[in-house]
Amino acid sequence: MSKVHFGPAGIPISAEKRDTISGMKKVKELELDAMEIEFVRNIYLNEQSAKEVKKANEELNLKLSIHAPYFINLLSEKESVVEKSKKLILQSLKIAEIINAKFVVVHAAYYGKLSKEDAFEKMVKITKEILKKANLKNSVLAYETMAKQSQFADFETLVEFYKEINHPNFSICVDFAHIFVFNDGKIDYKKIFDTLEKLGIKEVHSHFSNVKFNLKTKKFQDVHVPINSHPSFYELAKELKKREFEITIISESPILEKDAIKMKNIFISI
Ligand SMILES: [Zn+2]
């Protein structure tokens, strides 16, 4: 059976005090054991406050991860955006190493006018450069599986990318909702975990939420809704019971920790 850690994307909604350490304490109180620190708008921890987070976590013992800023686009036509993106990733990785967060999740890039092949090649070069500069001890740069054709990149592409990078400090953040949207409302959990097994990935970082079905376009959208429809968490939980992964599942549902608890209870009940 897989060992699963559950927690919210960011400070729990029910935390009265809105700082990271108060959020972590709330996570513990709710008997969850993971939290993603959201640097999506800005990197709000400096080295000093990061040390305090690390210290607080020595007692709380949560699986911490970081979500790097949304602003990032490593394939931008503007050189200034690429440089800023690299800096934001390096800074997020630096904070991760201080607080002992293993995974730093990044929405890496948009294809723009580039062909898939050129984008892939460019990203290999840039990513290797970032990993060299970051010189990581424990933390892992993890590109998230994206929902849109315009974004780098979908699960299949990132699997190939992972093989190409072949670095102990690089991985994939598996966003199940994004995979479901990318594949027009289909997700094959068995195939995903078979692939991860083949890649030799034993510790997985992931995001989960349900998504909206647009009645006008008849398509699933990357709009997060509470977990009671699609994709099925029950099927994911069933698959994980059969496997031997260590996996963190971050709830990106609008009701964050409530759905983290719901997922945990579903997993336990099977
Ligand atoms: Zn994300």
Say how many Å lie between the CA of residue 71 and the centre of ligand 1: 12
How many whole angstroms from 257 Cα to the centroid of ligand 1? Answer: 17
The pLDDT of residue 225 is 96
The reported pTM is 0.97
Measure 107 CA to ligand 1 centroid, in angstroms. Answer: 6
In this prediction, residue 106 carries a pLDDT of: 98
Per-residue pLDDT of the chain (270 residues; tens, 9 = 90+): 999 999 999 999 999 999 999 999 999 999 999 999 999 999 999 999 999 999 999 999 999 999 999 999 999 999 999 999 999 999 999 999 999 999 999 999 999 999 999 999 999 999 999 999 999 999 999 999 999 999 999 999 999 999 999 999 999 999 999 999 999 999 999 999 999 999 999 999 999 999 999 999 999 999 999 999 999 999 999 999 999 999 999 999 999 999 999 999 999 999
From the CA of 174, how far away is ligand 1's center (Å)? 10
State the distance from the centre of ligand 1 to the C-alpha of 205, rounded, in angstroms.
11
**What's the CA-to-centroid distance between 55 and ligand 1, angstroms?**
26
Q: State the SS3 of 97-140.
A: HHHCCCEEEECCEECCCCCHHHHHHHHHHHHHHHHHHHCCCCCE
- Please give the distance, rounded to the nearest whole angstrom, from the Cα atom of residue 204 to the centre of ligand 1: 15
Q: Give residue 12's pLDDT.
A: 98
Q: How many angstroms is it from 64 CA to the middle of ligand 1?
A: 15
Q: Give the C-alpha separation, 11 to 63, whole Å.
A: 14
In this structure, the strands spanning 63-67 and 170-175 are unpaired
Determine the distance separating the centroid of ligand 1 and the alpha carbon of 125, expressed in angstroms. 22
Q: Angle 255-256-259 (CA atoms, 0-180°, nearest 5)?
A: 80
First to last CA, the chain: 11
What pLDDT is stored for residue 21 in this prediction?
98
Between the CA of 142 and the centroid of ligand 1 the distance, in Å, is: 10
Q: From the CA of 212, how far away is ligand 1's center (Å)? A: 17
CATH homologous superfamily of domain 3-269? Divalent-metal-dependent TIM barrel enzymes (3.20.20.150)
Please give the distance, rounded to the nearest whole angstrom, from the Cα atom of residue 193 to the centre of ligand 1: 20
Give the per-residue pLDDT at 143: 98
**pLDDT recorded at residue 33:** 98
State in Å: Cα 144 to ligand 1 middle.
6
- For the chain, the structural domain boundaries read 3-269
Ligand 1 center–CA 173 separation, angstroms: 8
- Sort 212 into a burial class: Cβ within 10 Å, 0-12 / 13-18 / 19+: middle
